[in-house]
Structure 1
Amino acid sequence: MFDPVPDHPYPDGHRVDEAPAPHALLAPVTGLLGTWHGRGRGGYPTLAEDFGYAQEVTFSHDGRPFLRYEARAWLIDADGAPLRPSARESGWWRLQPDGRVEALITQPTGIAEIAVGRASDNTVDLATHEVALTPTAKEVNGTRRRYVLTDDGTLTFVHDLAAVGRPLQHHLSASLRRKG
């Protein structure tokens, strides 16, 4: 059994404490690798008013054809100061040879989503394939998420939501910059 330790390399030659090269299937999304942060606006018909939020999104990999995804957000006041934690989710994006993406996304609020879509030309577009809810989770029927890496290095994020008896409609949008 192979049990790597920091002083010994993996069979491909990279050390345990070094990042491996991205798998070839990650080519359409390598521009997303890293940590992104910024601000956005959100709203939904079931909410009393629209809101501002700060967001941090991290995309990483371990050399296999999977993109690790983690996002967290905070509600912010008019001056941009954090008020309290808001959404949090994590998961994996599985890249396929034809540019298809299969994403597994979970939230601590009891929502697990399988989304499918495509990755090409600095754009990832995902839509719900299936949603699983814990017994006390809020009703969510579907989402659409779109990530676009622009020429100026901005990552834009738009999230549409179908929940609590409402049809799919705009919920969140943010503009993020690479951290560091």
Structure 2
Amino acid sequence: MSSDTENPLGPPPWLNAPPVEPYPYEDTYDLRTGPDLHPALLGLLPFVGMWRGRGQGGFPEPEDYDFAQEIVIRHDGRPFLMYESRAWRLDAESKPAGPAVRELGFWRPVLVNGRPGDEMEATMMTQTGVLELYLGKATGTRLEMATDAIVRSPSGAEVTGGHRLFGIVDGALLYAHEMSGNGQALSPHLSARLLRVGG
């Protein structure tokens, strides 16, 4: 609506409303605080927490590289998990050498007649202009999923497929991420071992 057009209903009620208070709902990666975990997420409970560790990256980079990473998997009482990853490259002396991939996403168990099974859906998005939809299964302490659809921005990275495997092994979060793109089939992209530091 142009500024010189008068709204016959008057200004919208939010136009001159006072500032809102801080977000009134809590989300957490610590199962001892905040809202109760939704019953549909009980199968994913081992993944909830804050994790830090190291890994190695590869394709599509021309050479392998080492990185450090922090992953936070949290909930707000509803039937999905929020996933956030921050990674940074390490130099030959294991010192920070610059930021690497950041990723945000949501993991959702598929509900059938209101009850969760082992089927999973996940959306994952990076700063490289790529949004991936994954489908897979969560069984025990293992989550495996593959891309069902990928959307790229016009300048986004040329990603055409992905496969991810997460698992809790001896209390650590291990994962392997394969990627296809740039005319190449699925190839090792990232793998890491992270230790629980919170939650």
TM-score where L is the length of structure 2: 0.79
Q: Distance in 2 between matches of 1:9 and 1:48?
A: 44
What is the match of residue 6 of structure 2? Answer: none
CA deviations on 1:50-85 (whole Å, 9 max, x unpaired) are 100001111000111100000111010122111000
| Residue 74 in structure 1 maps to residue 93 in structure 2 | no
What is the match of residue 99 of structure 1? Answer: 118
Pairing of 1:17-56 with structure 2 (within 5 A): 19-44=34-59, 46-56=60-70
Q: Distance in 1 between matches of 2:55 and 2:118?
A: 28
RMSD: 1.9
Q: Distance in 2 between matches of 1:172 and 1:55?
A: 11
CA deviations on 1:93-129 (whole Å, 9 max, x unpaired) are 1112111110011112110110010111101111101
Give the CA deviation at 1:9. 9.7
What is the match of residue 176 of structure 1? Answer: 194
Pairing of 1:1-180 with structure 2 (within 5 A): 19-44=34-59, 46-96=60-110, 97-150=116-169, 152-180=170-198
Q: Distance in 2 between matches of 1:80 and 1:158?
A: 21
Equivalent position SS for 2:184: coil
Residues 167 and 153 of structure 1: CA distance in aligned 2, closer, same or farther (over 3 Å): same
Q: Distance in 2 between matches of 1:98 and 1:136?
A: 38
AA aligned to 1:106 is M
Give the CA deviation at 1:48. 2.6
- Uncovered stretches (5+) of structure 2, i.e. residues with no partner: 1-20, 27-32, 111-115
Q: Distance in 2 between matches of 1:82 and 1:142?
A: 29
Q: Distance in 2 between matches of 1:121 and 1:83?
A: 36
Give the CA deviation at 1:91. 1.2
TM-score where L is the length of structure 1: 0.87
User: Alignment identity in percent?
Assistant: 39
- Uncovered stretches (5+) of structure 1, i.e. residues with no partner: 11-17
Q: Distance in 1 between matches of 2:160 and 2:62?
A: 21
Equivalent position SS for 1:25: helix
Q: Distance in 2 between matches of 1:81 and 1:157?
A: 22
Provide the aligned length of Structure 1 versus Structure 2.
Answer: 166
